[in-house]
Amino acid sequence: MTRTNPQTARSGRGGVLTVAKIARLAGVSAPTVSRVINGQTGVALETRRRVEAVLREHGYRRPGGSASVAIVELVFHALESLWALEIIRGVEKVAREHDLAVVLTEMQGRLTPGRAWTEQVLTRRPIGVIAVFSELTVAQQSQLATRSIPLVVLDPTGEPLHQTPSVGATNWNGGLAATRHLLDLGHRRIAMLSGPIEWPCCRARLDGYRAAMDAAGVPVDPELVRISTLYVEGGLADGAALLALPDPPTAIFTANDLQALGVYEAARRAGVRVPDELSVVGFDDLSFTRWSGPPMTTIRQPLEQMGVTAARMVIELAAGNALDQHRIELATELVVRESTAPPRRG
């Protein structure tokens, strides 16, 4: 791996930004600046912050001659379902075509990587970083930018900065299609299990549900809308609470397939048959949905293709090419199976 060591580097403001000048502005030694630029350890946190501040202020960019390593950095907040595997498959497919390796990091449920991860990435010098359902701080994004390491965010958990390329799906359309399907079957007591509404993808699915109900002239009962976790346990707990209502829903739309699987179990425990007494619609179309009992109606999210798209964007940026679009949303699709049916007439 080639290190950034010469005494000059590019500045976003034009002209030459030398290591000596960075050191003088930050009040540190030139070797300290080199260690920070190259992501090496042995620099105090406050000193590192001062150097990073100078790099950001002067628009520093790593010299073009500084070679990256042939890897793509893929960061997940958690690796707990087939959802992640589909994205990994897409990224790996593109990486293999370009003779790149994939380095995978799991943050064990945290949305923002820690400082140790940032230092490791700067040391590894990947051609780019794909952050999945994660949220890098402004400082972390700046650190990647100053080293000319492009960042692409897949399904961002917060509103992405305009200059940060991102990939997602048509979540609002998916929520609309799922709810319309249930309305067309004759359901009116339709519940929605959302994920955290501060996440744009979850909020969009909930908004799609509300839009479909509003367009059909069907009031949304506040009791039927629950903010849940995106896991089986969330679907089980909130599904059980919905089914225990004096006037329970005849259909439940969930923010993902894992929640829907939890609703299946809640229905089984309550002696409620799917779809005879309760229709269920998931979201994602993970592989288990076609084998669940009954096979699950769901919204297909093109997860593998999302991984492919993010990887291609990173490779284009690493090659110094401009992107045609900085925000790409891939289409979702309603997949009707056997977990939905007209409501049983009383």
Greatest alpha-carbon span in the chain: 82
pLDDT band for 68, please (50, 70, 90 cuts): low
Residues in the chain: 346
Q: How far apart are CA 279 and CA 164, in angstroms?
A: 39
Contacts by 2-9, CB closer than 8 A, 24 or more apart: 2/65, 2/66, 2/67, 3/34, 3/38, 3/66, 4/34, 4/37, 4/38, 4/62, 4/63, 4/66, 5/34, 5/38, 6/63, 8/63, 9/37, 9/60, 9/61, 9/62, 9/63
Please give the structure tokens belonging to residue 83.
Answer: 């959802």
Contacts of 76 (CB under 8 A, 6+ apart): 84, 104, 105, 106, 107, 132, 133, 134
Using a pLDDT cut of 70, give the percent of the chain over it.
78
User: Where in the sequence of the chain do the CATH 3.40.50.2300 domains occur?
Assistant: 69-167+304-329, 171-302
Please give the backbone phi and psi of residue 310, each rounded to the nearest 5 degrees, phi first: -65, -40
pLDDT for residue 81: 74
The correct CATH number of 69-167+304-329 out of 3.40.50.1110, 3.40.50.920, 3.40.47.10, 3.40.50.2300 is 3.40.50.2300
Residue predicted with more confidence, 131 or 345: 131
Domain 171-302 CATH assignment equals 3.30.1540.20: no
Contacts of 15 (CB under 8 A, 6+ apart): none
Residue predicted with more confidence, 337 or 75: 337
Domain 8-61 superfamily per CATH: lambda repressor-like DNA-binding domains (1.10.260.40)
What are the start-end ranges of the E strands in 55-174? 60-61, 69-76, 101-106, 126-132, 151-154, 166-169
Nearest to 307 by CA among 76, 141, 70: 76
Mean pLDDT of the 316-338 span: 93
User: Where in the sequence of the chain do the CATH 1.10.260.40 domains occur?
Assistant: 8-61
pLDDT for residue 157: 62
Q: How far apart are CA 263 and CA 338, in angstroms?
A: 15
Please give the structure tokens belonging to residue 245.
Answer: 């209502």
pLDDT digits (tens, 9 = 90+) for 224-251: 999 999 999 999 999 999 999 999 999 9
pLDDT for residue 105: 85
pLDDT for residue 58: 64
Q: Is the pLDDT of residue 189 over 80?
A: yes
Q: How far apart are CA 121 and CA 150, in angstroms?
A: 12
Please give the structure tokens belonging to residue 291.
Answer: 């084998």
Q: Is the pLDDT of residue 13 over 60?
A: no
pLDDT digits (tens, 9 = 90+) for 43-56: 676 776 776 666 66
Q: Virtual CA dihedral for 300, 305, 311, 317, nearest 10 degrees?
A: -100
pLDDT digits (tens, 9 = 90+) for 115-172: 677 778 888 889 999 998 777 777 788 778 877 889 999 987 665 555 789 999 999 9
